[in-house]
Amino acid sequence: MSFRAVIFDLDGVITDTAHLHYQAWKETAAAIGITIDPSFNARLKGISRMASLALILRHGGKERAFDEAERARLAARKNARYGELLASLDSRAILPGIPALLDALAQHGIAVGLASVSLNAPFILDALGLRARFDYCVDASLLRHSKPDPEIFLTACAGLGVAPEQAIGIEDAQAGIDAINASGMRSVGIGHDLQGAGLLLPDTGALSWRCLQDFWSTPPRVDAPVN
């Protein structure tokens, strides 16, 4: 099949607000007597807000201490604080290689989608000045399943009008790579220690149109069967 679309994750691929998420979660957790550190925070990478809160409550031994309404209030508190921290975000926060890649994709008629579980994704794209560069952005509020379920990437493909087999997904989290692979797309991983990525790059600076072209022209890897 022909190469027709690239679907990006947002945080860690287009921009990096992980440190802002950590600060907001750390303050929210501290308010209910739970301490989290950067090591624990790494477990929250690539999963939804409510799933992150559930992990924090379990980590602090308080998963039965808050009902659904109270959890919603905690999540809202975290998001409000995160919104405050995002106030200074602008185009300088776009990661290396991304502007040139978006330019090249547009020049070659490749559709561009966003598959982020962040409910703040539209605001972040606006702040970065990139909203118009995306042909379709998944509305995370309408999803029933979070990564590593492939729903978000299948939704992005449907929104772009392409088959998963015609698209490349780019992620920096293991849950995201697993979701891309489960969708039938070809996966590009950004960073280290990601398992199963069809192509693994050290950072976004290594991303380019030529890089994706070469990746697409290479037959997909077939893992050897386990005996």
> For the residues of 71-117, what is the DSSP string, one character each?
HHHHHHHHHHHHHHHGGG--GGGBPTTHHHHHHHHHHTT-EEEE---
Task: DSSP letter for 162, please.
Answer: -
Look up 9 and say whether it is catalytic.
Answer: yes
Please confirm, yes or no, whether 11 is among the known catalytic residues: yes
The angle that helices 49-59 and 68-85 make with each other, rounded to 10 degrees, is 110
Burial class (CB in 10 A: 0-12, 13-18, 19+), 208: middle
Q: In degrees rounded to 5, what are phi and psi of residue 218?
A: -90, 130
Joined tokens for residue 201 = 């790059």
The length of the chain, given as a count of residues? 227
Are 108 and 117 in contact, with CB atoms under 8 Å apart? no
Name the helix (H) or strand (E) containing 217. helix 209-217
Q: What secondary structure, in 3-state letters, does 171-211 show?
A: ECCHHHHHHHHHHCCEEEEECCCCCCCCEEECCHHHCCHHH
Catalytic one of 11, 126, 139, 149 = 11
Active-site annotation, residues: 9, 11
